Structure 1
């Protein structure tokens, strides 16, 4: 009985030391993975702090820091997160961060108010009216520019998506893995889709699963076709469907949608050029064709 007790105690001590050893090995590894993912988020500027308290960490002058804090107080609670999402949609241009956008909103508030007041300085009422309008325009101008940049980038992504899927399909059917195919796209192509593929590959290399990286990609886009592709890939990964088969079907469907979109734009063209023709082209044609005749008739009846 004592031998059995001694064996159980020895086994318990071995298990305890094993758990301690695994925690010592996996703890730093998990921390390194988390730190790596955090570095990717910081590199792409997708941090979404709830306030601008950390604005000094991005090298902003003190005045802009205070203006950013003022803009954050004047904005609703969810505005920093919304700005972070729009930055992701715009591809995080340059070194823009949520703090910088808020700082420029505050700067635009005072600059617009000063410019409006200067324009309306001839009248006391006009000073307040133009000053208020200028402050509103300056405050919302960074949001408009950011939204415009995001819309343009998403349009480019929609245009590049069929070619990207074709290249993914060719690489996977040639024997490459999905990660290697993403690497080939990032190495041999340019544009927003290549940048998104590189970012997704970096996230997977630093510890994220393929499903998590795909869902993060879907959160960074508003392109319906790309979100549908991500959904199909996630379902294929969870159900064990071969990746090459899913890519082949998705690429074929994407080509069909791209062709339908081109046909739709072609059908809209006559309606779009109708009003320019009526108000710009037809009057000029009438003047050129009927002008000499009208002048001859006026000269005849006037004489």
Structure 2
């Protein structure tokens, strides 16, 4: 038994040493990243940066081109393509899963060894949270763009009809418009134009980044007007009117959906409590009279 104990202790020590050396190699692999021209990472990635950056360096060799492309498109929809790389986002998901697993094991520790099913569910939920957050951010960004687009189109239309060209009109809209994702994207279009990028390519890049039918329709209309040499004022005014009508239609649709969305909470929470309050005196009277005995 003593010989087996010595062998087991030696195997455990060797496994611990191998794990320590692997973790150390992972932490050393992440070279410092030059982020002078990148945006600030989200809060979770900023706090877990000492872990996500080395893991991202290792995940690069295991991430396929298709996975990298799909993840980059999701980051672009959320406005994070200049904040995180696909490998860094996937590393953040891995770290979130490990943290959720550790939290589940810590909570279950007073009861003994946690079951493997609980650890697996915790890890899956933890790694799914960043993906859910990214989808919510992309959807909120899309709604903000659709909400701000009519105002920006009105400003650009007034500037163009007053005699300014399109880049100057965009600059006026960026200067006077409210803060939001659309202002940031129009500012990127201006930077592309100042860097010498053709106007058509800058506008197509705007449509690809936002990936909404309203912006795609606007970009297509501007490109057709520029190609045909027609005036941009009527085109922009028609686009602004159409976007405003679409916003009113979305508001009416949400108002019509509100009663349907309120029905489940009413049936589950409000109506049972109301019936209990109304029927309590009746049930008390029946008990007093002995009818329910």
TM over 0.5: yes
- 1:132 is matched with which residue? 120
The alignment's TM-score, normalised by the length of structure 1, stands at 0.71
Deviations 1:221-275 (A, max 9, x none): 1322122211211222222221111101111111111111111112222222222
Distance (Å, rounded) in 2 between the aligned partners of 1:287 and 1:113: 42
Alignment-derived partner of residue 33 in structure 2: 57
User: Higher mean Cα deviation, 64-73 or 146-155?
Assistant: 64-73
Separation of aligned partners in 1, 2:204 and 2:30? 28
Q: Distance in 2 between matches of 1:137 and 1:271?
A: 30
Q: CA 1:278–1:134 in 2, change beyond 3 Å: closer, same or farther?
A: closer
Question: Which one of 143, 146, 161 corresponds to residue 158 of structure 1?
Answer: 146
When residues 103 and 182 of structure 1 are mapped into structure 2, their CA distance, relative to the original with a 3 A threshold, is same
1:77 and 2:77 aligned: no
Distance 1:62 1:275 in 2: 45
Match of 1:215 in 2: 204
Question: What CA distance in whole angstroms lies between the structure 2 residues aligned with 1:119 and 1:72?
Answer: 33
Q: State the partner residue of 1:300.
A: 289
* Preserved contact between residue 164 and residue 185 of structure 1 (Cα < 8 Å): yes
Higher Cα Rg, which structure:
1
RMSD (Å), alpha carbons:
3.0
CA distance in 2, matches of 1:55, 1:217: 32
Asked if 2 retains the 8 angstrom alpha-carbon contact of 1:83 and 1:98, the reply is: yes
SS at match of 1:78: helix
1:115–1:131: 8 Å Cα contact kept in structure 2? Answer: no
Instruction: Indicate the residue corresponding to 2:42 in structure 1.
Output: none
Distance, in Å, in 2 between the alignment partners of 1:209 and 1:237 is: 12
Mapped pair 1:182 → 2:170: yes
Shift of 1:213: 0.9
**Unaligned stretches of 5+ in structure 2?**
1-28, 36-45
Find the aligned partners of 1:244 and 1:138 in 2 and give their Cα distance: 51
Matched length: 250
How far the C-alpha of 1:191 sits from its partner, in A, is: 1.0
Q: 235-244 or 79-88: which moved more?
A: 79-88
Does the 8 Å CA contact 2:30/2:57 hold for their aligned counterparts?
Answer: no
The separation in 1 between residues aligned to 2:65 and 2:105, in whole angstroms, is: 29
Over residues 111-145 of structure 1, what are the superposed CA-to-partner deviations in whole Å (9 max), with x where a residue is unaligned? 34444555666677823x33433443344433332
Task: Measure, in 2, the Cα distance between the counterparts of 1:100 and 1:76.
Answer: 14
Does residue 194 of structure 1 match 2:183? Answer: yes
| Match of residue 20 from structure 2 | none
Structure 1 unmatched ranges of 5 or more = 1-52
